[in-house]
Copies of this chain bind each other. A is one copy, B any other.
Amino acid sequence: MLKIGVATYTLRLWKIDETIALLQKLGIEYVSLKDAHLPRSSSPDELRAIIKKFQAAGITPLSVGNIAIKNDEADARSAFEYAKNAGIGTMVCAPPVEALPMLDKLVKEYDIRLAIHNHGPEDKHFPTPYAAYELIKKLDPRLGLCVDVGHCARGGKDPARAIWDCRSRVYDIHLKDIHTTERNGRAREVGRGVLDIPAILHALQKIKFEGNIGFEYEKDEKDPSLGLAESVGYVRGVLKVL
C-alpha cells in the first residue's frame, strides 16, 4: 500500500490544529512536516510534543523538510539535530552540490536519510532527480532523493521514468500537477494538469515505495483545502483502478 500523505508546506499558513483537523477530514495518515508546523527553533521536548500530537491524531510524520542546507557543517548539523530530536528518519533537503562530501559523513554519523529535493530548471544544483542521483549513487545509501514530480517534469525529465531509473535512492515524493511541463508550469489540482499521474503512481507501486508520497499543493495558498481534497480524491480514484 502506497502511503499517500501531505507535505505540510501545502498548509504553511495554517496552524497545527487546523492542519490536523483538515488532514483528519481528508483521511490522510502521513505527513512530511514543514518548519511552519515543526519549527526549527523548537526545543527537543517541543519537537517530540508536536510529533506526538500528529501521531495521536492518527497521522504519522514520515519526513521533515524541505530544509535549505548550506555548505557549512554547523548549519548541516543543526538540521540533522532537528530531525534527530524530532525522531524522524528522513530529511528532505536542498543542499548545494559542494556539500555532498560533508553530508555523506553526517548521514553516517546520524543514521538519518537525506532526500535531496530537485527544484526544476531554476535550480543550479539539482534541477532533476538525475542530477542528484548521478552524484550520490556511489556515496552512502542514506543519501537519496525526494522526487518532486512537478519540478522534475519542468526540468525536462519524465517523473515516472525518473522514479524508476533512480529507484534505489527514492526516499520521499512531492506529488503535484502542473499546467504545462514548460519552465513556467504552474500548480494545478492533481488530475487537472498535464502530468501522467497514473504512470507516476504505477512507478511507485513497481518500486514498492514505502516513503511519504506527499501532496505539495501550491495553488490557493490561503485556503488550499478544496484543491487538496480534489487531489486526494483523484489519487485514490486512480489507485482504485490501477
Contacts and interface: CB of A to CB of B under 8 A. Distances in A.
Interface string A180-212: 000000000111100001100000000000000
Contacts of A241: 198, 237-238, 241-242
A117 to B, nearest CB: 25
Interface residues of A, number: 26
Interface string A15-31: 00000000001110000
A233 B233 CA distance: 4
Contacts of A236: 191, 230, 233-234, 237
A241 B192 CA distance: 14
Contacts of A191: 233, 236-237, 240
A226 B230 CA distance: 8
A202 to B, nearest CB: 9
B233 A229 contact: yes
Contacts of A166: none
Contacts of A227: 229
A71 interface: no
A179 to B, nearest CB: 13
Instruction: Choose among A192, A236, A239 the residue with the greatest number of B CB atoms under 10 Å from its CB.
Output: A236
Contact of A232 (B26, B27, B197, B230): B230
A233 B225 CA distance: 13
A97 interface: no
Nearest to A202: B241
A227 B230 CA distance: 9
A72 to B, nearest CB: 42
Contacts of A229: 226-227, 229-230, 233
Instruction: Choose among A27, A230, A242 the residue with the greatest number of B CB atoms under 10 Å from its CB.
Output: A230
Interface of A: 25-27, 189-192, 197-198, 225-227, 229-242
Given A191-B240, A230-B236, 12 more contacts: A25-B226, A26-B226, A27-B189, A190-B233, A229-B230, A230-B233, A233-B233, A233-B235, A233-B237, A234-B234, A238-B238, A238-B240
